[in-house]
Every structure is written in structure tokens, then in C-alpha cells.
Amino acid sequence: MTNRKSFAAIAAVLFALALLPFGVSGYVLGLLTLGFYTAVFAMSWDLLFGFAGEVNFGPSFLIGIGAYTAALLNHYEHWPIWACVVTGGAASIVAGLVLAVPALRLSGPYFGLVTLVAVLMLQNIIVLFAGITGGEIGLDLPDVLSIDDSNNYWIALTFMGISGAILFGLSRSAVGLILQASGQDAMQAAALGFNVTKHKLAAFCISALFSGLSGAMLIFYEGTVSVGTVVDIAVGVQVIIAAVLGGRRTILGAALGAIFLIGAGELLRPLGEASTFVVSAIALVTILFVPGGFLGALLHGEKR
Amino acid sequence: MKSSLRLMLAASVGVGLTLPAIAADPIKIGVIAEVSSISGAAIPNAAKLAADEINAAGGVNGRMIEIVEYDDHNSAADAVRAFQRAASQDHVHAVIASYVSEVVLALEPWSGRLKMPMITPGAASDVISHRVHEDYAANKYTFHGYMASTFLSDSVCDGVKAIAGPLKLKNAVVMSEDAAWTIPLDAEYLKCLPKIGINVMDHIRLSPDTTDFTPIYNKIEGLKPDVIITGISHVGVQPTVQWHDQQVPIAMIGISSQATSSTFYKDTNGAAEGVIYQTISAPDVGVTPKTLPFVKAYEKRYNITPAYCGYTTYDEVYFIADAIKRAGGTDPDKIVDELEKTSYVGTIGKVEFYGRDSEFTHAIKVSPEYIGGMLVQWQGGKQVTVWPNDIANAKIKFPGYIKTGTN
Amino acid sequence: MKLLQILIDGFAISSLYGLGAIGFTLIFGVSGVLNLSHGSIMVTAAIAAWVIAGDLGLGPYGGAAGGVAMAVALSLLTYMLVVRPIQTSSRIAREEKEIFVLTGTLLWGIMIQEAIAYLFTSNPKTVRPLIPGVIEILGVRTPMQEILTAVISWVVIGLLWLLVNRTKAGKVLLAASINPRGLTLLGFELPQIYFWVWALYGLLAGIAGLLLGAFLGVSSDNVGQLTASAFSIVVLGGLGSVTGSLIGAYVVGYLETITAYSGGPSIRTIPVLLLLVLVVYIRPQGLLGRR
């Protein structure tokens, strides 16, 4: 597919999505709204893992910092939503820097473990200061984006569209190529004169920014913030599965995977509690037999 | 930390129970609960039982009751999504939601935003009804169908006062889990225990994620109290088993939600022996003529006795149906008006709600005349009632390692 | 008194951690796999024992045997259904195998966890203790089960040591962890060795799960924490080093116990996490790891 053709295809899909509220029920919109925010999480993660080659187990550390910063400001200081969201995104960048600067010296499982520990620490801190943060189950917010399903949907779609365009554009730019090269062979990339660490750091910050913004938006959609929605390891796992399922190093595949995961959960609703089991099984079978993910399979056929 | 690696599926996952096609539109009641826990599972179970009975008797003005179930995985966010789905997709007319205060507190603003009458059968935090009192217009759709925490503590204190003499209870340690519902609970414990002549030596709040309770029991034992006053719900099996295995020589009395279910004995391998818990209905005592038939029907259908919120849920389906009948339709404001007028004798006693003048607006009235507490003890694998004396059918008895009452 | 208490409690919990982590590190040493379904396998052993001993009426010993057998079977399934297909897949690039094994075993672990929650609810279960009762050790009342936990852990660790150092099979195992390629040149079949390592791992994880179930009780909600804890211990001790993992287990076990007794149970894991971060930054190969 040429760039022009895929651009046209994406524009057509986005346009069709924008018209959806005129045709489908509120709950489907609500589901997609959630899918769109999750899609931004997954795309941010893909930029870091797919291109920079770092196994980041901690997407929910960045998401959680953004979400809780925004939530606390809204709950206690009654800041307007937009200010909370922007501050949340900024806080995620700061947290991302604190985590990334020392961690990027590490590789493989060690980097993975540090990101995992970051999530556990954040979770511990939130639970420990339950008096302020609401602890395990969370804090409810005085403000919500909108109580209208269609408005929420359009807000999320716009947000995903803009984030996706920036992340995708970045991945296709020179920066993306350098990241990709460094992810596959850091030594060689460095030998070619690229400052690998600087580029990885940039990727981490951008990943952090969009994770944080999306986390903050999500909680203002739901009107509540809790460890279970934005910090728990399970949240990070879902993000990773979405990206791997949709196809790594594609950015857009990650979005596809996220929306699929959310949708599959709903389609399997009649299975009750067993639905999580089935979704995990589908994801496992996919990575075993179609390792390139949905988009990988779609774009390249069976490449390898 | 909540360490579940469970894939947090965004969609609330539940099973819609479809009834045979009928002429008139059914009245739909949404039920949101954590289905994989003992207490949570009792909520949809009891709701279905009540709905089937009402339907078998002809329904409400010819309309059948349909229960729509949602699993919230004990997550506030999943519960909010389930609530949104219930309102905008499944068009339910009322919601019965959760036994977890944090979940109910997250739903409360949504019940106002979406004008959806909601009642909780098992959450306890005082804040639920205080919010209705403080901002009636916004929160009037929320009802609190279980004892508020403060009343729970008072009920425990009443019971302890009655048994303190023979058991020689003088000093106590309060041990409760860190959660929204125990904040008012503990505050009231610390007030009411001294009033009945019990000295509180220490007040321990434990994280619901605790798996090893040895250090806690050690600390408590070092203080040599006569009794541990409990406030636990999210935890239950592990502290009980470790209390038993380590032979902590101090009786446990208080709120222990998981102990209310009959599976508790099996889950703890019998360690529950001797545990005394406060509740509002027990499987062996006819609080009202409706209690025992309900327990029997529930046991027949599900093979276990109902957890505490099973009783309340069962009653709630009935009085919601009555309110809709009186309202002559499903307009949410009319349903709220009629629910406020509820005066219904159910399995737990006489249900009425406090009015706007009370700080517990829309919470169930608590007093011997309406709904009173009782103390139940696990003895030989059975739940027997030990207080109040007029309905008690057994004497308090502890396993050998417990020294309470012997010195 | 309190010191003695900490000494005894810490020893039991550390031995248990050690047993759980040894299998985890063994798999990494021999086949380079971090098995993120570790916690699920431990919990399965405990829940299976609970069901077999109670519902099926086979008593504590039948339950224990059945639970461990379940863990071994599940471990082999993990290898054959998840790990091996990824390792041998020609469609997955070599540098990506790691993330695929991590994601694959993670998903597999979630499936097991959900299956347990679905079939037996997520309520904690306790395995009936093999020996009930308590004894006094210098004035500290200690459950027999706690002593048994430490004893069994160390007997199993001792047997493992004998196996690795005193038998031919063990030496092959050791060689496989040092230089798998060389071993194939000597005519050994690697897949066969892997099979036995996974069986051994299942045995270790199963026993650890069982003991945990009897000592503290387990629920399907503990899966993630158990995996994270094993991961932390082996990184602390050095990935692939059995001795390192044991030392790591005692450091973690005692640090947690001391924290729980002096600072309170709610901050129990925090010092460990801090220590872990520190070690990873200062000495990423861990206490005894090789790079």
C-alpha cells in the first residue's frame, strides 16, 4: 500500500467512525469510547517497545501518574478538566523522565523488571495514602467530560485521531527510523553516529505524554479513578496484549488491537465470567500462529 | 496491592437472564455485583429467586420482572460501565448494586446523572446516605438498603455489652481492614466500646492485601486483650485460618462479612469454629415469617445459605416491585417517591427509610422495631444465633485454644 | 522475644520463597525463559489439593499428591503448548522471541487464573495442614505447619542439590544451563532435556504452592503477586543462579518480615521494591549472577 492510499483509507475509516453516533446505540458508543482511550495507551506503548525495542511492563505507571494527578487536582482543588488533563500529561512526562534516565542503561529483563517495579511502587503508594487517594478502589470525580454518549464518543475519537496522527507520523519520520535501528542493533546505530539514548529518551517522553493525557481523559469520561482502571498490572497487560495482537511496529495496529480487545469482551458477554479466559485464549492463539498481529498479516501477508 | 493479573476487560461482563416472551414489557432490574466472591454472588442469586417468585405469582400489574446481571469484578470502573450500559442500552428501571462501599460511592453520582433509582444491598459506608442528605436533588435516586457502618458498630456494641459479663470482657483491640466502610465503623467502635465499659487497647487497620497476619496477631497477643473486635469484609478466610492455625487465644467478635456465608466453614477448613459475627439475618432464626422460607428456597436452588446481602437483595426486589406498582409506571422520580414511602416486612425485619431530615437520608431505619442486629457464632460447622437472647438458640462456645472467658 | 519471632517466621516464609524461585531460575538458566505463568502454576497446585482433599474426600495426603501432580502436568503443558511453539516458530524473529515468550506465558497464566476463578471463585482457599497443632519454640508459639513448611522446603532443596551434583542427569542439566550448544554436539537432545527441566520445575512450583496454601492460604487473585515476587527474587539473586535465588529469597523474606513486624504489614513489600531497584541499578547481574 502506498502512503497516499493508506492515508485515504484511514481518513475514510475515521469519517465513517465519526458518523457512527447517528446509527448505533449509546452502549456501543460507550464501548468504543473506552476502546479509543485504550488505543492511545497501546499506540504509545508501541512507539516505545516496537520502535525503541524496550520491553516496557509499566505502561500503567505512566497512565496512572497522569490519571491520578488529574483526579487529585479535580477532586481537591476543583481545577477545570482541561487544566487537570494538561497537568496530568506533564506529570507523566516528569515521571517518565525520572524512570527512564537511569533505566535506559539497562536492557532486556532488567529494564522490564524496573518498569514493573515502578507500577508496583505506584500502586503501593496509592494504597498507603488511601486517605488522600481513595486507596484500592478509588476516588470519584466531581466533574465529567459529558454525560451524553455521543459527545463522549466524539471527544475520544478526536483525541485518538490527533494522538494517532502524531505518534504515527513520528514513527515514520527520521526519528522513528533511528529508533527502529537502535532497537534492532543499538551498537550499530550508535556506530553510525546516532545518539541512541537521546532518541530513546525522546520516545519515552512522548510515550509518557500520550499515556498520561489519555489516562486523564479516561477518568473524566468515567467520573471515577481507581487503581483497577489505570494502575493495576492488568491494565498494562491489556495494553501490551493489544499492541502485540494488532501488530507491533505499526502504531495503527496497536489501536486496532485495543478496540478489538474491548469489543471482544462485549461480544463474549453471554459467557459471563469465562469471557476473560476466552479473550486471553484468542490472543494467545493469535501470537502463536500469526505473530505479526492483525495489521502485520494484513499488510505483509505471511512475510517470514 | 490488588494483585490480580486478570485482564481487565472493559466491558462489564454479565449474563442477561431472558425470560419467556410475554405480552407486556417486563420491568427490568439491573444487578451489579462481583460474581466471583461469596458475598457478591449472593446478590444476583437472591434477586433471581425473588423475581421468579413474583413472576410465578403473576408479576407486577401483569408485567414480569426481568433481572439483568452485570459482573463488576469488584472494580469501580467496571461497575460504572455496567451502570451506563444498564441505563442506556438495556433500559433497566432500577439497579441493585454491589456490597462494596467504594463501588457504590462511584455509582452514586451516576445514579443522579442518569436519573436511575439505585439501592445497595450490602455496602455500609455512612457517606452513601450522608450525600443524599447533603445534596438531595442530585443524589435522591440512591437508597441505602443495608445498615450504615455507624449502626453496625452500635449493633456490635449492643451485643458485646450483653455477653461481656459471662465472658469477662474488659479489654479489646479493634482490628479492621482499610476501606471506606470501616472509617465510620471504627470511629463508632472507638466511641461505643468505652460506653459499655470496654477499654480499647489498640486500633489496628490492616491492608486488604495482607496475606500474612502473623505479625498482627503477635502484636495483638502482646497486649493481652480479652477480645478482638473485627471489621472485615474483603478479607476473611486468611485471617480466620491463621487465627486458628496459630491458636491465637483471643476470641474474635464483630463484623466478618465472609463468615455470613455457609461456604465459609469449608473455605477455612473449619477454622471458622468459634468466630462470632454480627448480622441482620441468620439461616436458623426466623426474624420474620419470611426469613426461613427464603433460606430454604435459596439453599434448595444454590446449595448454600445466602450471604448477608442475599437477604437484603431478596427484600429489595420485592419492595422495588411494590414501589413500581404503587407508582403505576417506571418514571424514575415517581419510583423514588414511592420507595421513600416503603414500609415492607421482609426477611430482615421491617424496612423503612430515614427521611430528608435525618443525616442518614434514604438509609434503612435501624432499631429493634425495624431492623436490629444479632450475633451469630460458628459452632460445629453450623451458624447458630447467640444474641439477642429472645431469639438465641445456642450458648457461646469456643474451641479449646481460646482463653477468653476462662481467666 | 520479638526477635526470635521474626527469626522463626522469616525463616519459614523465606524457605517457601526459595523453593518457589528455584524452579523459576532453573528454567531461565537452562532455556532462557522467564515463565510469567509461574504464579498460576503455584496457585493451581494449592487449589487442586484443596478440591481433591475436600470435595473428592481423599484427605490431606491425597490432596497434596494430586496438587503436585496437577502442577507438573500444567508446567509441561506450558512448555509444550506455549513456550516450545514460540521457540521453534520460524515466523518470529530471534530478537523478538523474548517478548513473545513473556506475552505468551503471561496470557497462559491469565487463562489459568480465570479458569480457577470461574470454577472455584476467587475466594482464598486453605489447604488442610498435613500436621495440625502448635508447639512452643523458646516461648514462641509456632504452628506445626510453619515448621513443616521450612523442613519440607529444605528437604526438597537438598534433594535438588543431590540431583544436580551427584547424578548424571543432574550434570547434564547443569551443562545445559552453561552451554546448551555444546551439549547438542555431545549427542544430547535439547528438547528432551527441556522436557525434564519443565517437569522438575512443575514439581518445585507445585510443592511451593501447596505449602503456601497450607501456611497462609491462596486465591486466584494472588497469581500476579507470586509471579512478581519470584521474578524479583531471581533478579536480586542473579538470573539463572540457584544459590543466588536462595540468598535472594532469604533477603526478601527477612526484609519483609522485619518490615511487617516493625513498620506494619501494609508497607511490607516496599523496602524490597526499593532494594530491588537499587540492586538493578548498581549491580544488574544480581548478587551471584553471571552476565
Tens of pLDDT, residues B183-204: 899 999 999 999 999 999 999 9
Please indicate, yes or no, if residue C238 is contained in any of the structural domains: yes
B235/B340 same-domain check? no
DSSP A256-296: HHHHHHHHHHHHTGGGGGGHHHHHHHHHHHHHHH-TTHHHH
Q: Contact partners of B by the rule of 3+ C-beta pairs under 8 A?
A: A, C
Q: Is the pLDDT of residue C116 over 50?
A: yes
Q: Which of C118, C222, C257 lies nearest to residue B3, judging by beta carbons?
A: C222
Q: Which of A26, A232, A280 lies nearest to residue B2, judging by beta carbons?
A: A232
Query: To the nearest whole angstrom, how far is the Cα of A114 from the nearest Cα of chain C?
Result: 6
* CA gap B273, C272 in Å, rounded: 36
Query: A224: which chain B residues are within 8 Å (Cβ-Cβ)?
Result: 76-77, 80, 106
CATH number of the domain where residue B59 is located: 3.40.50.2300
Q: Is the pLDDT of residue C43 over 70?
A: yes
pLDDT, tens digit, 9 for 90 and up, residues A129-183: 877 887 766 788 888 888 888 899 999 999 999 999 999 988 888 777 777 777 6
pTM of the model: 0.83
What is the mean predicted confidence (pLDDT) over B287-308?
Answer: 92
Residue B295 makes CB contacts below 8 A (sequence gap 6+) with B283, B305, B306
Provide the grid cell at C273. 521494591
B160/B127 same-domain check? no
* CA gap C83, C101 in Å, rounded: 6
B160/B264 same-domain check? yes
Please indicate, yes or no, if residue B327 is contained in any of the structural domains: yes
pLDDT, tens digit, 9 for 90 and up, residues B368-391: 889 988 999 999 999 999 988 888
| Nearest alpha-carbon partner for B324 in B106, B66, B84 | B66
Q: Which of A227, A241, A272 lies nearest to residue B2, judging by beta carbons?
A: A227
**DSSP label of B358:** S
Range scoring the smallest mean pLDDT among A81-90, B317-326, C196-205, C260-269 = C260-269
Please indicate, yes or no, if residue B404 is contained in any of the structural domains: no
Confidence tier at A52 by pLDDT (50, 70, 90): low
Q: Which of B5, B215, B258 lies nearest to residue C109, judging by beta carbons?
A: B5
Helical (H) or strand (E) element with B122: none
C114 and chain A in contact, CB less than 8 A? yes
Query: C118: which chain B residues are within 8 Å (Cβ-Cβ)?
Result: 36
B383/B255 same-domain check? yes
Among positive and negative, which fits the CA dihedral B32, B33, B35, B41?
A: negative
**DSSP label of C80:** I
Query: C121: which chain B residues are within 8 Å (Cβ-Cβ)?
Result: 36-38, 41
Confidence tier at A294 by pLDDT (50, 70, 90): confident
* CA gap B278, B161 in Å, rounded: 13
Please tell me the predicted confidence (pLDDT) of residue B23: 53
What is the mean predicted confidence (pLDDT) over B255-264?
Answer: 89
Q: Which amino acid is at B212?
A: D
Q: Is the pLDDT of residue B303 over 60?
A: yes
Answer whether C224's CB lies under 8 Å from C269's CB. no
Q: Is the pLDDT of residue C248 over 50?
A: yes
B141/B154 same-domain check? no
Q: Is the pLDDT of residue B162 over 90?
A: yes
Please tell me the predicted confidence (pLDDT) of residue B379: 95
B195/B295 same-domain check? no
Helix axes B182-195 and B149-167, enclosed angle (nearest 10): 40
Please indicate, yes or no, if residue B311 is contained in any of the structural domains: yes
3-state secondary structure of C198: helix
Q: Is the pLDDT of residue C242 over 90?
A: no
Torsion-angle region of residue C264: left (phi > 0), alpha (psi -120 to 50) or beta? left
Please indicate, yes or no, if residue B107 is contained in any of the structural domains: yes
Answer whether A115's CB lies under 8 Å from A99's CB. yes
Q: Is the pLDDT of residue C222 over 70?
A: yes
Query: A237: which chain B residues are within 8 Å (Cβ-Cβ)?
Result: 5, 7
Answer whether C48's CB lies under 8 Å from C196's CB. no
* CA gap C126, B192 in Å, rounded: 35
Mark yes or no for CB contact A283/C107 under 8 Å: yes
Q: Is the pLDDT of residue A37 over 70?
A: yes
Confidence tier at B319 by pLDDT (50, 70, 90): very high
Please tell me the predicted confidence (pLDDT) of residue C133: 81
Q: What's the burial of A142, exposed, middle or buried (CB within 10 Å: 0-12/13-18/19+)? A: exposed
- Tally of domains within chain B: 2
B190/B270 same-domain check? yes
Q: Which of B41, B258, B266 lies nearest to residue C54, judging by beta carbons?
A: B266
Please tell me the predicted confidence (pLDDT) of residue C94: 78
Buried b (16+ CB within 10 A) or exposed e, C166-205: eeeebebbebbbeebeebeeeeeeeeebbeebbebbbbbb
B136/B167 same-domain check? no
* CA gap C276, A117 in Å, rounded: 8
Please indicate, yes or no, if residue C289 is contained in any of the structural domains: no
Provide the grid cell at C96. 523478538
Query: B266: which chain C residues are within 8 Å (Cβ-Cβ)?
Result: 54
Q: Which of A149, A226, A273 lies nearest to residue B77, judging by beta carbons?
A: A226
Residue B118 makes CB contacts below 8 A (sequence gap 6+) with B83, B94, B95, B96, B97, B107, B108, B111, B141, B142, B143
Please tell me the predicted confidence (pLDDT) of residue A50: 67
Query: A27: which chain B residues are within 8 Å (Cβ-Cβ)?
Result: 84-85, 88-90
Strands B227-232 and B251-256, bridge-based pairing: parallel
Please tell me the predicted confidence (pLDDT) of residue A265: 76
Please indicate, yes or no, if residue C235 is contained in any of the structural domains: yes
pLDDT, tens digit, 9 for 90 and up, residues B58-88: 999 889 999 999 988 777 778 888 898 899 8
C119 and chain A in contact, CB less than 8 A? no
Query: A40: which chain B residues are within 8 Å (Cβ-Cβ)?
Result: none
What is the mean predicted confidence (pLDDT) over B345-359?
Answer: 94
Q: Higher pLDDT residue, B209 or B245?
A: B245
Residue A22: other Cβ atoms inside 10 A: 7
Q: What domain range is C151 assigned to?
A: 2-282
Range scoring the smallest mean pLDDT among A178-182, A293-297, B331-335, C64-68 = A178-182
ipTM of this predicted complex? 0.84
3-state secondary structure of B251: strand
Please indicate, yes or no, if residue C290 is contained in any of the structural domains: no
Answer whether B119's CB lies under 8 Å from B320's CB. yes
Confidence tier at B53 by pLDDT (50, 70, 90): very high
* B window 229-288, beta carbon within 8 A of C: 237-238, 241-242, 245-247, 258, 263, 266-269, 271
Nearest chain A alpha carbon to B74:
A137
Range scoring the smallest mean pLDDT among A94-103, A186-195, B73-82, C136-145 = A186-195
* CA gap B386, B392 in Å, rounded: 5
* CA gap B51, B313 in Å, rounded: 11
Please tell me the predicted confidence (pLDDT) of residue B67: 96
Ordered by start, the domain boundaries in chain A are 27-232
CATH number of the domain where residue C72 is located: 1.10.3470
Greatest mean pLDDT among A31-35, B147-151, C130-134: B147-151
Confidence tier at B22 by pLDDT (50, 70, 90): very low
Mean pLDDT of chain C: 87
- Tally of domains within chain C: 1
What is the mean predicted confidence (pLDDT) over C68-78?
Answer: 96
> Number of H helices and number of E strands within chain B?
13, 14
Answer whether A103's CB lies under 8 Å from A113's CB. no
Helical (H) or strand (E) element with B367: none
Confidence tier at B27 by pLDDT (50, 70, 90): very high
Query: To the nearest whole angstrom, how far is the Cα of C212 from the nearest Cα of chain A?
Result: 22
Q: What domain range is B245 assigned to?
A: 150-279+373-387
DSSP B22-80: -SSPPEEEEEEE-TTSHHHHHHHHHHHHHHHHHHHTTTBTTBPEEEEEEE-TT-HHHHH
What is the mean predicted confidence (pLDDT) over A38-45?
Answer: 94
